[in-house]
Amino acid sequence: MDGHAKPIERDPEEDVLDEAVDAEASNEEPPVTESESDSPTAAAPESTQNNGIRLVQTEASVSDSDPVTNEDPGSDKEHRPLSIPEREVTSILIRNGNIMFAPGMQNAINEGIRAQAAAPIGEINKLMNLIVGPLLTALLAITGITCAVAAVGILVSIYNSMNDRRRDIAIMRALGARRTTVTSIIIFESFQVALIGTIAGWLLAHTAIVLYSGKIEDQTGVQVGFFTTSNYEILVLPLVLGLALIAALLPAWAAYRTDVGSNLSA
């Protein structure tokens, strides 16, 4: 140490920066008034170029194209209310190429809050099992009871007519008719009454369906016509004819045992 201070070497670039700052300070803008500070927009960027160095002064600005929102950056956008265009779509039908993926897709959609997935076939099966199924069973029970009552009516009607027809049966037997022939006539009569009644009932029922088809379509959306049939209707005709055959056994047995001599002399 010889007691002399060593001069500090300055970088030429620092000298250039100092000169640029001094030049910027000499061109200072007037103080901003209160009215200007309240303006929503700030001054435009200014630039100064000295010795190849460009200094840019910018200030934040607020424009209409970038509105300020109060939305919390951390908020979940899934919970925001739907916009008007989004509300126009109420349902979307999705068809799976492979039915194996349908449950997984339904569960994935139901995990969110924006939509709810529903399988139409599943809902229809629930409707059929919980509502339509019991009602259909009740209607079938009522149909069976109605057929049984009709068979009893046929039995009573033919059996009561036997008292007035004993003489006719005795004459037929006297002319050579066998017991089996008389019995077959009684059974065929019961069978004929049941067949005519079944056909007439089917025609009346389907005529009523046609008359109320418009109202049914308006309330349920189901289109029905005169020849719209159910699988259960195919079983009605054999059921009614079988019951009529059973109902005719008692009158046929009474005709089979008719005494020819006592009825001819009466």
pLDDT at 111: 86
pLDDT at 38: 46
38 torsion bin: left (phi>0), alpha (psi -120 to 50), beta (else): alpha
pLDDT tens track for 93-129: 777 778 787 778 888 888 887 788 877 777 788 888 8
Q: 26 falls in which pLDDT band (50, 70, 90)?
A: low
Rank 7-16, 82-91, 161-170, 187-196 by mean pLDDT and report only the highest: 187-196
pTM of the predicted model, to two decimals? 0.51
Say how far apart CA 262 and CA 166 lie, in whole Å: 10
Say how far apart CA 170 and CA 258 lie, in whole Å: 7
**Of all residues in the chain, what percent are helix, strand and coil, respectively (each to 5)?**
60, 5, 35
The residues facing 127 across adjacent strands are none
What letter does residue 177 receive in the DSSP assignment? -
pLDDT at 1: 45
pLDDT tens track for 213-233: 888 888 877 788 888 888 888
Q: Which H, E and C letters describe 64-113, residue by residue?
A: CCCCCCCCCCCCCHHHCCCCHHHHCCCCCCCCCCCHHHHHHHHHHHHCCC
Q: Whole-angstrom distance between the N-terminal and C-terminal Cα of the chain?
A: 170
pLDDT at 145: 92
Give me the amino acid identity at 56: V
The alpha carbon of 122 is separated from its chain's Cα centroid by a whole number of angstroms, namely: 9
Domain ranges of the chain: 151-265
